[in-house]
Amino acid sequence: MRMLHPPGHAPQRPVDVPVLIAALGSKGHSVARELGDGLFATMQVPAYAREFSWVAYSLWGTVLDKDEDPRSERVRAAAGPGLALAFHAAHEFNVPLSDLAGGEQWRTVVDRTPPQERHLAVHEQHCVGLNEADRAAWDAGAHALLEVLTVSGSADQVGQRLAGLKAQGVTELVYQPCGPDIRRELEVFMQTAKTAVWG
């Protein structure tokens, strides 16, 4: 196998590709410091993030329209997949689901799947939509956790969250838009981020 590009039609090899390390804990910190060009974080920004000049933070959520109900179908479609990650992660890391609003309802649906296939049921629609268990959790009150577990809320609330991320050392936002109107999610989020501190 070989690269077929003649000279001048691709970067000169070898190509130096910058690497972000997504790792948690003290071992992950060591690996990121030794091998990485930067850090990739999600859910929380590690205390050591300020040691890196490049910190990308992955987030989900939506900016609510003025007076929009956070339980609306639009919000559910746009921010629900990010909220569902809390349930997926709790399952993977054996965190008691009873600690999450809607957790018992989520578990009831997932437990209907045979154990050898349960990982498939848990991650169905992962990061793009809500599966049956995720919808059960939302309907049972998980939507109340939206502003805590995702970057969702009014433009002012989202702007404050983004400013807080920057204060923790985040230098780049990796935003995962969801829902039926991706253009709307991207445009409103970008305007909010620029207005807050990322302009």
**Alpha-carbon radius of gyration of the chain:** 19
Task: Give residue limits of the domains in the chain.
Answer: 20-63+153-198, 73-149
The confidence score (pLDDT) of residue 95 equals 87
* Whether 73 contacts 135, CB under 8 Å: no
- Tokens representing 169 are 């050392």
**What sign has the CA pseudo-torsion 181, 186, 192, 195?**
negative
- Contact partners, residue 4, CB within 8 Å, separation at least 6: none
The confidence score (pLDDT) of residue 199 equals 65
pLDDT in tens, the chain (199 residues): 777 788 888 888 888 899 999 987 889 899 999 999 999 998 889 999 999 999 999 999 999 999 999 999 999 999 999 999 999 999 988 889 888 899 999 999 999 999 999 999 999 999 999 999 999 999 999 999 999 999 999 999 999 999 999 999 999 999 999 999 999 999 999 999 999 887 6
Q: What is the pTM of this model?
A: 0.87
CA distance 146 to 165: 17
